[in-house]
Structure 1
Amino acid sequence: MPLLATSSDAAAGEQASSATQKVLAHHLGAFAKGLDELMRDYAATSVILTHDKQYRGVAEIRGFFDGFLKSVKPGFWEAFKINAQSVDRDVAYLVWEAKPFVNIATDTLVVRSEKIIIQTFTAA
């Protein structure tokens, strides 16, 4: 027997998408406010996955973002541009650039209980 989506399923999906969009918007705005504000988006069990390392928990994630923020060159934020953004339930996907510093980058966020639980990141 095929499974059918109900209106309550659709409402739950819309509610999850709205919560994920809210966390994504806060996350993007937090870069301008500093490391402490950025860290409000993460939980003790959060993980960031990159091509060469996994950052587990708030201490390691804080170190990841501290290094990133300290490495940003003048003109980076002025060059920052979102090329694509999509949210579906608890997943947000972002494609961005900051040329000539970053030609292309992607982030995928999994949001639960208003926190980024899993994030993937890659840049070229």
Structure 2
Amino acid sequence: MSNSSEQVEAATKQVLDHHLGAFAQGVDEILKDYGDNSVLVTPDKTFRGLDEIAGFFKAFVDGADPAFWPAFKITSMSTVNDVAYLVWEARPWVTLATDTLIVKDGKIAVQTFTSFSA
């Protein structure tokens, strides 16, 4: 692995780690991982830019049962170059969820998210 790809992967992991920690601090902190051109793709809608992504996370955070967060558990996590992949659950609300993040210049450029409930 070349030094530059190691640096890219380290930057990707840094953004992923911040993103995971940001949920405890609220939507404003979560949004620090996104830029004006960021895109969040879900099965229901594609959210473009900070305003739409903020609306998605506000609804997600506000709609979560207080017991959701203690139930949150990462089951798989990996980074390859500028891509981060996360598999998680928060039973009984979410039995399986995946996030894929493509990180460019220290921000999440594109994220895909899907989740399943029992």
Q: Fold-level match, TM-score > 0.5? A: yes
Q: What is the rounded CA distance, in whole Å, between the counterparts of 2:88 and 2:16 in structure 1?
A: 14
Q: Please give the root-mean-square deviation of Cα atoms over the aligned residues, in Å.
A: 0.7
Question: Which amino acid in 1 is paired with 2:47?
Answer: Y
Q: How many residues align?
A: 116
Question: Where does residue 6 of structure 1 map in the other structure?
Answer: none
Residues 98-117 of structure 1: pairs in structure 2 closer than 5 A? 98-117=90-109
Residues 2-13 of structure 1: pairs in structure 2 closer than 5 A? 10-13=2-5
Question: Which amino acid in 1 is paired with 2:42?
Answer: T
Residues 86-97 of structure 1: pairs in structure 2 closer than 5 A? 86-97=78-89
* Percent of paired sites with the same residue: 53
**TM-score normalised per structure 1:** 0.92
Residues 1-124 of structure 1: pairs in structure 2 closer than 5 A? 10-124=2-116
Return 5+ residue gaps in structure 1 as ranges: 1-8
Structure of greater Rg: 1
**TM-score normalised per structure 2:** 0.96
SS of the residue corresponding to residue 32 of structure 1 reads: coil
Q: What is the rounded CA distance, in whole Å, between the counterparts of 2:94 and 2:39 in structure 1?
A: 23
Runs of 4+ in 1 over 2 A off after TM superposition: none
